[in-house]
Structure 1
Amino acid sequence: MEEKRDQFRLISEPMERPMERCRVIQERDIDGNVIEACQQGDMSAFQMLFEAYKDKVYSIAFYFSRDEASARDITQQVFLKLFTSIGQFRRDCEFTTWLYRLVANACTDEHRRRRRFVSFDDEAGVMNMIERGSQEENYIRRQINDSVRAAIADLKPKLRLPILLKYVEGLSYDEIANVLGCSKGTVASRLNRGHKLLARKLAPYRGALDSG
């Protein structure tokens, strides 16, 4: 295990390779052959995997924690877990679904460690209803923004994660269910509960949101 940790540190540190310096590894570069190579211990294949998904994992972690240090810790834990357990991936689901599951678990673990509320900006959801306007309107909307952030921060992780996966990552109900290891009905129920809690907390701003 310690040997794998050392190998992971080498992969996760910034690396410059003459042949790859100008090439940016993207998600579309990852296919079944790369995954299989990772499972066989190919370090260069895992380097490709890390480069392709590190920004996505960090983004989710940061949206959840709103703290750069925590987001880095979560990202490191996700890829360490991925590195040590990729042999368990059986292709019974999409690789990204399996990866999201690792991220969701790491975020939940981080929340348990911190034992305090964290926040993220739901820029892809409620926030995009707010348009530009006069200075007075912008001031009011900034107040609404702050209230939305506070309301989301008050949601429990089991309600916050489905909202993040749906409105930030754009996952379907089925995909969220696979990530969280629950039924589609449970996903719908948690989203519904989250929506109701947000609506209740944001009730004083309902008129401003509707007019925006």
Structure 2
Amino acid sequence: MLGLDNNLALIERAMEGSVSAWERLVKRHERLVFNHALRMTGNHDDALDLMQEVFMGVYSNLHQFKQDGNFKSWLLKITSNRCIDFFRRRKPDHDADEEPLATIASDQTTPEDAFFKSTQNQLVMHVLTQLNPDQRMVIELKFFQNLTFEEIATLTAISTNTIKSRFYAALRNLKSLLEVHHVAS
């Protein structure tokens, strides 16, 4: 039997009805899901709602997880799909940057450094929310999840060339948007 710390063992036990195994699995991956949803939506509350939706859906469909697959990739794919669904059903006038990411690194030494870092994070989150959802997803998976183009293509069931095209289009758009804010050189 696999060790309890292994995702597959936790999944097996959760499918058998173990609440503690399910809670451990959620605890292990909640930050990953939340951060992915936050970067996709740019809104803390929306990310929390999406995280809850994702884990409710995962729990209901845990039996569909292929034991030979990568649980993290499966979870990211579900999260990405939920985010895309969120954008499809969102009202057009919704302000996606109501609560931007304002994470301040713990190694900040001065209030000025903390303010600058917070302002930069807010600007980046604001600019990311201006990308279309497909481009935002590719940027999120490439930069924040450190996936390769091939991994993104597999995860999203989109060709590698299309992923690369979206990625480079997103970079061009980001550069233009940052230039508007006088950030890029």
Which category describes the TM-score, using the shorter chain as reference length? 0.7 to 0.9
- Whose radius of gyration is greater, 1 or 2? 1
Structure 1 residue 204 displacement after superposition: 5.4
Q: Distance in 2 between matches of 1:74 and 1:147?
A: 23
Q: What displacement does 1:148 show?
A: 4.5
Q: Does 1:101 align with 2:77?
A: yes
Q: Distance in 1 between matches of 2:68 and 2:163?
A: 20
Match of 1:194 among 152, 170, 173: 170
- Cα offset, 1:153, TM superposition: 1.8
Aligned to 1:90: 66
- How big is the shift at 1:205? 6.6
Separation in structure 1 between the aligned mates of residue 68 and residue 159 of structure 2, nearest angstrom? 16
Whether the aligned pair in 2 keeps the contact of 1:30 and 1:49 (CA below 8 Å) is no
Unaligned runs of 5+ in 2: 104-111
What is the distance in 1 between the residues matched to 2:65 and 2:21? Answer: 15
Q: Distance in 2 between matches of 1:166 and 1:102?
A: 17
Matched, 1:43 2:19: yes
Equivalent in 139, 147, 161 of residue 185 of structure 1: 161
Which of 161, 166, 177 is the equivalent residue of 2:142?
Answer: 166
Task: Tell me if the contact between 1:62 and 1:68 (Cα under 8 Å) persists in the aligned partners.
Answer: yes
* TM-score with structure 1 setting the length: 0.66
1:157-192 CA-to-partner distances (Å, cap 9, x unmatched) read 011011011111212212222222212222111101
Q: Displacement of 1:146 after TM fit?
A: 6.1
d(CA) in 1 for partners of 2:127, 2:42: 14
Classify 1:205/1:66 alpha carbon distance in 2 versus 1 (closer, same or farther; 3 Å): closer
Structure 1, unpaired ranges of 5+: 1-27, 124-134
Letter in 1 for 2:173: L
Contact 1:58-1:75 within 8 A present in 2 as well: yes
Who is 1:153 aligned against? Answer: 129
- Alignment RMSD: 3.0
Alignment-derived partner of residue 96 in structure 2: 118
Per-residue displacement from partner, 1:69-94 (whole Å, max 9, x unpaired)?
21111011000000000100113431
The residue matched to 1:193 in structure 2 has which SS? helix
Deviation at 1:201, TM superposition (A): 3.0
Matched residues, number:
167
Contact 2:77 2:156 in 1 (8 A): yes
1:71 and 1:34 map into 2 onto residues whose CA distance is 25
- Give percent identity, aligned residues only: 27
